[in-house]
Chains A and B, each alone.
Chain A
Amino acid sequence: MGKEKYEESSSDEEVNSSSDVVEASSDEEVESSSDEVEASSDDVESSEDESSSDNEKVEESDSSEDEVAPRNTVGDIPLVEWHKDEEHIGYDIKGRKIMKQPRKDKLASFIEGADDPKNWRKIYDEYNDEEIELTKDEIKIIQRVISGRTPHAEVNPYEDYVDWFEYEDKGHPLSNAPEPKRRFIPSKWEQKRVANLVRKIRAGLIKVSDQHKEEEHNVYSLWTDDTDSVENKKHGGYVPAPKPKLPGHEEAYNPPVEYIPTAEEINSYELMYEEDRPKFIPRRYLNYRSVPAYDKGVKESFDRCLDQYLCPRTRKKRINIDPESLKPKLPSRKDLRPYPTTCYLEYRGHMGPVNCISVDPSGQWLASGSTDGTARVWEIETGRCLKIWEVGEVARQICWNPSPDRPILAVVLEYDVLLLNSGMGDIDIQTKMKELLHISEPGATEDAGDSKSAVTWIQHEKHDGIRMKHFKAVLSIEWHFKGDYFTTVVPSGDSKAILLHQLSKKHSETPFRKLGIPVTAVFHPSKKKFFVATKKFVHVYDLSKVEKIQKLETGVREISSISIHPGGENIIVGSKEGKMCWFDLELSTRPYKTLKVHSKDITRVTFHRTYPLFASASDDCTAYVFHSTVYSDLNQNPLIVPLEILRGHKPEHGRGVLDCKYHPRQPWLFTAGADSIIKLYCH
C-alpha cells in the first residue's frame, strides 16, 4: 500500500525534474516520464523493507548479467552504424550469429509506447542492441544523482566527528623547559663504547672492511664510448663512423716548404699502385682565392653514396692476422750449415746414364754403375776413375759393403747380382776377400732348400767375384750394417720376392712370404728390424721373430725409394709422383709430414749418416737438400727445413737425377745424372 502511494505521489511531484532523463532515453517518452519515480525527499531509511527488496532485485539482475554473457561480442563499436546492413551483430562463442533485435519502425514503437504504461522507463541499449527496462531502484538512483545527492539513500554523509587526539589544555606544542646539561657534554657511555671498539679493533677482534670501495663500481661514465663493450658487440649494436683525419699543415693553401713533395717524389707516386698513392699532394698557392675547386669532389661524394648504398648491413668479423705469423717458425738456413750447396767436382767417364752410385764407408772412393754396361770406382778427392768393370749389362744398382774390412761391391744387373772385389784395402784384406769371394764347389750352395730355384751362387771367372743368378729380374740390393747379410728384391718373385743372403756361408733364404709387389727393402741401421716397401705401404718386420710389427700407410701412389734415419726411428719415403713422406715410427703409422717438392718422379731419398741432413733426387733434374733434426726427447717432433735446391744436371730422355748419396763423413752430396755425369756438391 505504501508503495503505490509513494509511486503516485512521486510521479506527480517530479515530472519536470525527470525531464532530463527522459530526453536521454527517447523523445517519445517525454510525457510518459511524468510518472517517473523520484527518490522521495523522505529519508530512504524510512522504508527499509522496500530498499532491501530493491537491493535484492538489483543483485538478482547483476547476477543474471554475470550468468548471461553480454550480447555484444564485437566490442565498443558503433553497432547501429556499422551493422546497419547486417542481420547480426556478432557471433557467440559457438560461432553462431547473434541476430539483431527486430527493428520497429518509429510509428509502431510509438503506438506500442503509448499502450505500454511502462514505456517511459524503457531504454534502448545501443551497445547490446536491446531494450532495457529500468527498475524502480535504478530510477531512484538516477533521480538522486540528478538532484546532486548520494546515489544511495542509506549513506549518511554527515557522520558525527570523532576527535581522536587530546589537545585541550595542552598550550604550546613546544616545551618551554630549559635544555638539560647532557645535551652539551660528550656522552660518557658513547665514549666508553668507542674506547671499547677501538680496543677491539686494535686487538684484531673486529675487522674493518673497505665497504665504501664497492660503491665506486656503481659509478659509470655516462658519455663513455661503449662501442667496444661486450654488451654492444653482442647485440650487433652501434658502429661509430671512422674518425676522419683532421686536416694538417699540408692541407693549408700555402703549406711550409717541407710539406711540398719534390718532383721525384711526385714521379715516384706515379709508379705506385693507385691504392697506395697518397690521396692528397700538397701544393702552394699565393693566396686563398687562387685555390681551385676540389676536382675530385663530385667523384668522392659519388663514391660515398656508393659506399653507403653497398655498405654491408651485417657485421663481418674480420680477423686481423699477419700473414707472416702463419708461416712456420723455421730456423735460418745460415744456422744450419754445413750442407751441400755448390758443385765443385764432376766425375766424367760414363758413356750412358749413371743409374746408381755408392760411397765406400771410409769416404775415399765412389762406385757407380751405368747403362753403358760398366761399373766404375772413382777417387773422390780428385775425380779420377780408378777401376772399370765391364759387366756387359745395365748396372741397376751398386752398393758398397758397409764393413770397412770387406771392400766388396755388389752390383745388380738384370737377373744377376755380382759381388766384386773392389781391390781396395791392404794385402791382408785382399787375401781375405779372395777367400770370401771364392766358391769352392759351384753346385754346393744349391741345396739351400726352397730357395734353390730362386738364387744360384756361381763363381764369376772374369771379374774374380761371385755371380748370383736370380730366377727373375732383381730390382734392388741392400747390405746389412755388419756387412755379412744382404737382401735382394725380386718384385715379380711372389713368395720369393725378398731374399736374404749370407755372404760368409753363401746361403740364401726367403723368410717373408705374401708381400705383394715389393719395391725395395732395407735393414734397420742398428736393430734387428727390416723394412720392406711395397707400392703403397712400408712393412716393418722383426728379423729375429720373422713377424710383422708395423705397416706404414704412405698415401702415395707408388713408392720409389726409402731411407732410414741413422737413429732408426724415422723413415723417409720417396714416391713416383714427386712426394716425400716422413714417418716417425714412434708417432704413428701415417706420415708425420708429406712434402710435395718435385715435379717429377723421385728417384732416390737418402739420409746422411752423421749430419742432420737428407736429400731427394728427382727426374726433374734437381736434388733437394733438407735439414732434419731428430730430437731424443720424444715429445718434440722432428724439425724439417728445406735448405737448398741443387741444379746442374741436364735432362736426357726425360730422366734427370737418377741417384743421390751423401758422403759418409762430409756434408757432401753426390748426384748421378742421366747425362752420364756424377756431380759432387760441397758445402
Chain B
Amino acid sequence: MEPNGSGSDASRQVQVRFVTRLPPPLRVPPASMAVPSHLTRFGLSDIVNLLLKNSDPDHENQPFDFLIDGELVRMQLDEFLIAKGISAEKVLELEYVKAVAPRKQEDPRPHDDWVSAVDGSNSSFILTGCYDTFVRIWKSGDVSECTHVLEGHTGAITSAKFIDIRGVENEQNFHLVTGSKDRLLRLWKCDAAKRRGDPIRVGAYKILAGHTSSVQSVSVNPSREMICSGSWDCSIKLWDVKESEEDGDGNTISLKKRKVNSKTKESEDARLEGAATSTLVGHTQCVSVVTWPDPDVLYSASWDHSVRQWDVPSGKETWTMVCGKALNCLDIGGEGSALVAAGGSDPVLRIWDPRKPGSLAPIFQYSSHSSWISACKWHPRSWFHLLSASYDGKVMLWDLRTAWPLAVMESHQNKVLCVDWWKDDSVVSGGADSKLCITSGIEIQ
C-alpha cells in the first residue's frame, strides 16, 4: 500500500485501472496505476483527461463519472471503499462514463398561466397544457415559437399527450389527446406543415365525455389504438381512438378547417362525441396518474395511496402496492421497463420493483426534494436515469447508481408541475411560474 516507502496517511494510494465502454477516442490505456486514495471523482476525471490528452493532444477536457461495481463514486475514493467494504489491496476497476449534466439552458417559453402538462415524445414539437385552458404546440428551435393553440377546453389542462409517435414521414401531422379539469378529454389533429406566422388555432375533432370529475391524467396505448384516463371520480376509463380516426378522417378535418378559417365560436353541433369502451374501477380516491407502458398492462396511481397494475383485456387488477402516501406521479421504466417510480405527497421519490416477489418495500428512495413531488419520468432509453419535479421549484436528475442527484435544475421560480424528456438529451418542464423551461445538452449513452 505504500509503494515508495514514503507513504504517510495523507498519501495512501490505491491501484486502479480505468476501463470504459466509451468509443475509442475516449479510451485510455488499460494499464493499472496508483492514485492517491483521497481523490474524488473530479480528481479522477482530471487523471483520465490527462491520459487522454497524452494519447490525443486535441482532446478537450470533459467531466467523467466513475463507477465501482456499478455504483457511482460520490465521495473520496477511500471513504467509498470503506463504506462499501471493498478491499483496497486489489487493483480497482474504475469504469468511467461521461458525466451526465445539463449543459445548456434554453430560453423559457412564456405562457399566460401555469403550465400543467408537457409532452416531449415528439422530437420536433413540444406539447404543453396550461391553466388558461389552452394547449400549445411549440416547435423545436432556438427561438420560442408557438405553432398551434388548441382551444376548446373550459378548465385547466391537466394532461396532454401525442397519440402518433410515428416515423419521420408523419411527423408533421399528428394527433393529440388532452384531459382537463372540465371533466372532458379532447382529441385533436394538427397539421404542422400548414403554418403561417401566427399560431394556428385548432379545435378538437372529438370530445370524450364520461368522467364525472376532473380528468387528472391521460395515457396512450403504445399500439396507439386506445387511450386511458384517470380522474377525480376514482375511475379509469379506456377510450377507443382508432375507429374514430378512421371514420373521422374525411369530415372532421374539413370541419376543423372550416372552423379555423371562419373563426366561428365553438359550437357542439358537428363535433363527434365518444364514449368510454370500459371503466376500470378499484381505486377509492382520485386517480392522479395513469401510464400505459405495455399494450396489455396499465398502471395507475391514486390518492388512496396505492399503485395498481391492470390487465387491460380482462379489466382486472393484477397487482396492488400500497405505499402510505397520496401519489401524484408514476412512471414505468428502468431495468427491463419494469421498475415503478412514483412520488406524491412527501418529498421522497420511490422506486419499486414489481417483479420482486413478496416484498412491497421500495428498492430505492430519493429524498433530496423538500416538497411534494409533482412529476417523475424515466429516461426513454437509459435504465438508470430518471427525472423528478417538485413543488420546491427544482427538477432533479437521478441516477439509480447513486443516492445523490446527478443534477439539480433550479430554473423555475415556483412549483414545477410537469416534466418530460425531450429528444433524449433535453428536459422540458413547466411550472407555476408560467414558463416552459428547456434544459438541453444532457448526454446519456
**Contact residues of A with B, CB < 8 Å?**
337-338, 342, 344-345, 362-364, 381-384, 426, 665-666, 668, 682-683
Contact = CB atoms under 8 A, between A and B. Distances in A.
Which of A345, A364, A683 counts the most B-chain CB atoms under 10 A from its CB?
A364
25 contacts: A337-B324, A344-B346, A344-B347, A344-B391, A345-B371, A362-B232, A363-B285, A363-B286, A363-B303, A364-B213, A364-B232, A364-B286, A382-B116, A383-B432, A384-B114, A426-B183, A426-B213, A665-B304, A666-B326, A668-B345, A682-B326, A682-B345, A682-B346, A682-B372, A683-B325
Contacts of B304: 665
Nearest to B184: A426
Given A344-B345, A344-B372, A364 B214 contact: yes
B310 interface: no
Nearest to B417: A382
B415 interface: yes
Contacts of B372: 344-345, 682
A603 B245 CA distance: 58
A612 B360 CA distance: 25
B413 interface: no
A665 B305 CA distance: 11
A461 B303 CA distance: 38
B328 interface: yes
A345 B373 CA distance: 11
A382 B345 CA distance: 11
B305 to A, nearest CB: 9
Contacts of A381: 288, 328
A344 B415 contact: no
Nearest to A427: B183
A384 B131 contact: yes
A497 to B, nearest CB: 39
A364 B325 CA distance: 16
Binding site secondary structure of chain A: loop
Given A382-B415, A426-B212, A683-B325, A665 B345 contact: no
Nearest to A381: B328
A364 B303 CA distance: 11
B374 to A, nearest CB: 8
Interface string B306-342: 0000000000000000001110100000000000000
Contacts of B213: 362, 364, 426
Contacts of B285: 363, 665
A175 B212 CA distance: 133
A344 B304 CA distance: 19
A668 B345 CA distance: 10
A508 B303 CA distance: 39
Contacts, number: 54
Contacts of B131: 384
B303 A665 contact: yes
Given A382-B432, A384-B131, A666 B345 contact: yes
B303 A666 contact: yes
A345 B347 CA distance: 12
Contacts of A362: 213, 232, 286
A128 B232 CA distance: 127
A668 B214 CA distance: 21
Given A381-B288, A381-B328, A382-B417, 19 more contacts: A337-B324, A344-B345, A344-B371, A345-B371, A345-B391, A362-B213, A363-B285, A364-B213, A364-B214, A364-B286, A383-B432, A384-B156, A384-B432, A426-B183, A665-B303, A665-B304, A666-B345, A683-B325, A683-B346
A338 B432 contact: no
A666 B156 CA distance: 24
Contacts of A683: 324-325, 345-346
A243 B432 CA distance: 78
Nearest to B324: A338
Contacts of A665: 285, 303-304
A345 B288 CA distance: 17
A363 B288 CA distance: 13
Contacts of A345: 371-372, 391
A345 B285 CA distance: 20
Contacts of A666: 303, 326, 345
B129 to A, nearest CB: 13
Contacts of A426: 183, 212-213
A680 to B, nearest CB: 9
B181 to A, nearest CB: 8
A506 B246 CA distance: 53
Contacts of A668: 345
Nearest to A343: B371
A156 B69 CA distance: 137
Contacts of B214: 364
Can you list the 10 inter-chain pairs with the closest CB atoms, starting with the nearest? Answer: A682-B345, A344-B371, A344-B372, A426-B183, A666-B326, A665-B285, A364-B232, A426-B212, A682-B346, A338-B324
A262 B326 CA distance: 56
A339 to B, nearest CB: 12
Nearest to B288: A381
B433 to A, nearest CB: 13
B293 to A, nearest CB: 24
A363 B303 CA distance: 10
A383 B415 contact: yes
A382 to B, nearest CB: 7
A493 B324 CA distance: 48
Nearest to A664: B285
Contacts of A364: 213-214, 232, 286
Contacts of B116: 382
Contacts of B371: 344-345
A235 B315 CA distance: 85
A451 B390 CA distance: 54
A362 B304 CA distance: 12
A91 B361 CA distance: 110
Contacts of A382: 114, 116, 415, 417, 432
A342 B370 CA distance: 10
Nearest to A383: B415
Q: Identify which of A337, A345, A381, A683 gathers the most chain B CB atoms within 10 Å of its CB.
A: A381
Interface in B221-257: 232
Nearest to B371: A344
Contacts of B326: 666, 682
Nearest to B216: A381
A403 to B, nearest CB: 14
Contacts of B324: 337-338, 683
Nearest to B155: A386
B444 to A, nearest CB: 30
A682 B213 CA distance: 24
A682 B303 CA distance: 13
Nearest to B232: A364
A682 B417 CA distance: 18
A668 B346 CA distance: 12
A22 B347 CA distance: 133
Contacts of B156: 384
Nearest to B369: A344
Interface in B122-172: 131, 156
Nearest to B392: A344
Contacts of B303: 363, 665-666
A364 B155 CA distance: 14
A503 B358 CA distance: 53
Nearest to B347: A344
Nearest to B183: A426
Which one of A344, A383, A665, A666 has the greatest number of beta carbons of chain B within 10 Å? A344
Nearest to B284: A665
Interface string B3-40: 00000000000000000000000000000000000000
A396 B114 CA distance: 31
Contacts of A384: 114, 131, 156, 432
A318 to B, nearest CB: 49
Interface string B107-123: 00000001010000000
A131 to B, nearest CB: 123
Contacts of A682: 326, 345-346, 372
A604 to B, nearest CB: 23
